[in-house]
Amino acid sequence: MNGVPVARLFGFEIRVHFSWALILAVIAVTVATQAGRVAPETSALVRWVIGAAVAAAFLVSALAHELGHAVAARRAGMPGGPVVVYFFGSAASSRTAATRPRDEIVTALAGPAVSIILGALLLIATAIGEVVGSGPVQVTGRIAFLVGGMNIILGVANLLPAYPLDGGRVARGVVWMRTGDSRRGVRAASQIGRWLGISFGAIGLVLILLVDSIDGLMLALGGWFLVSSARAVERSGAIDTLLEGLHVEDVMDREVSSVAPGLTVDTFALQVLDGSSSPSLPVVQGDELVGVIGATQVRRVKPARWAETRTGDVMVRGDAMPRVAPETTLRTALDELHRTGLDGLPVMEAGSLAGIVTRKAVAEAIHDRLQTKGAPS
């Protein structure tokens, strides 16, 4: 799963994406440098404190953006967590759990709405501080101005109608509402994203050639990002078509062996890694499923430590281990595998373990469908 778990808020696990380590450093350095140019008399320590404060405040703002999505999703009956905080707001997926276009639109708009409202409040606070305050109050107000402006940019930019921005989901929901076909909404959003990306790239290149502008480079990179995202959405749509009509019960392994949490990793590690057994094994204590362990977890343990590492020490458990039912669509199972980073998901039937569905099984199903579609009739 992407991100590092840092907290739990409103019932959601909060994860921060690894990219924030670089982003926070860039923001802190940029703000500290600008503070030195605007007020050269400010000490280096104060400049770095200001830079760190702005960076931290923007991270909290991005979290508020993501929580807006999560709360709206939960109110609509969709799973809203875990919440992964990405730079520039939610990395919206072309696939969601929404069953109605209205829920898709409302959930997508919730994040930008939070960012814009928060930004507006911070700008208002800045104006009040400039009028009635002095000294430390004005310094705090100027920090609020920076963070407020960044929130406004975050909210407005995310409304561009292209994946992976929230506006892509809004575009999808609008087309879905008008046509009754969610796939047409995805195709429309990807096409808009492609043309926006091409336009941004072209404008960026013109700016680079004519005025040697760093803004042109950023715009060109943004265009490349949108075009790449559009291609990813199209590939996702192709996979949707290939997996249409397939369910977990069609590919699940019903004869999979289970392991106990007290078993040492060396007793099954080689079989999991070389493919001679399932790449993911359920961990059972008595009659109860307590976790799952796969090739990903085994690789995290050095071979020299296999004999002393117990399954229970490295298995995935709790909220990080979703369960699926035999009637779950294979596309939904694949989404869960991507979201969690697991090699396999336990399949539960009538409260008991019925088997496991793995990435390998889904890949084989896709390959079989490709062979069938490519075979001569």
Kindly report, residue by residue over 295-313, the tens digit of the pLDDT. Answer: 989 999 999 999 999 999 9
Together in a domain, 148 and 286: no
Contact 332, 93 (CB under 8 A): no
Whole-number pLDDT of residue 290: 92
Alpha-carbon span 181 to 160, nearest angstrom: 21
Together in a domain, 154 and 266: no
Together in a domain, 18 and 133: yes
Contact 125, 144 (CB under 8 A): yes
Together in a domain, 148 and 262: no
Q: Is 257's pLDDT higher than 80?
A: yes
Together in a domain, 262 and 144: no
Closest C-alpha to 347, from 229, 211, 249: 249
Together in a domain, 116 and 253: no
Closest C-alpha to 279, from 290, 293, 265, 300: 293
267-300, pLDDT tens digit by residue?
A: 999 988 887 778 899 999 988 899 999 998 999 9
Contact 223, 202 (CB under 8 A): yes
H or E element that contains 105: helix 101-132
* Domain annotation covers residue 32: yes
Q: Is 109's pLDDT higher than 80?
A: yes
Q: Is 95's pLDDT higher than 80?
A: no
* Domain annotation covers residue 117: yes
* Mean pLDDT computed over every residue of the chain: 83
Q: What are phi and psi of 18, to 5 degrees?
A: -60, -30
Together in a domain, 129 and 22: yes
Together in a domain, 143 and 261: no
Contact 15, 3 (CB under 8 A): yes
Confidence of residue 373 (pLDDT cuts 50, 70, 90): low
* Domain annotation covers residue 240: no
112-150, pLDDT tens digit by residue?
A: 999 999 999 989 988 887 777 665 666 677 778 888 888
What average pLDDT score do residues 86-98 get?
Answer: 53
* Domain annotation covers residue 329: yes
Confidence of residue 377 (pLDDT cuts 50, 70, 90): very low
Alpha-carbon span 239 to 27, nearest angstrom: 38
CB contact burial 22-48 (16+ within 10 A = b; e otherwise): ebbeebbeebbeebbeeeeeeeeeebb
* Domain annotation covers residue 279: yes
Whole-number pLDDT of residue 2: 58
153-200, pLDDT tens digit by residue?
A: 889 988 988 877 888 889 888 988 898 887 788 788 888 888 888 998
Is pTM beyond 0.75? Reply is no
Together in a domain, 137 and 253: no
Together in a domain, 126 and 14: yes
CATH of the domain at 308: 3.10.580.10
Together in a domain, 144 and 262: no
Alpha-carbon span 41 to 30, nearest angstrom: 18
> Which stretches of the chain are assigned E, i.e. beta strand?
4-9, 12-16, 83-85, 280-285, 288-294, 344-349, 352-358
* Domain annotation covers residue 337: yes
* Domain annotation covers residue 339: yes
The number of folded domains in the chain is 2
**Domain carrying residue 135:** 4-159
How far is C-alpha 132 from the geometric centre of its chain's CA atoms?
42
* Domain annotation covers residue 284: yes
Alpha-carbon span 5 to 160, nearest angstrom: 29
Residue where a domain terminates, one of 108, 141, 159: 159
Residue where a domain terminates, one of 144, 159, 174: 159
Residue-by-residue DSSP string for 268-304? THHHHHHTSS-SEEEEEETTEEEEEEEHHHHHTS-GG
19-68, pLDDT tens digit by residue?
A: 788 888 888 888 888 777 777 777 888 888 888 888 888 888 888 998 89
Residue where a domain terminates, one of 91, 126, 159: 159
Q: Which residue has the tokens 């926006």?
A: 196
Alpha-carbon span 87 to 342, nearest angstrom: 24
Together in a domain, 18 and 115: yes
Beta bridge partners of 52: none
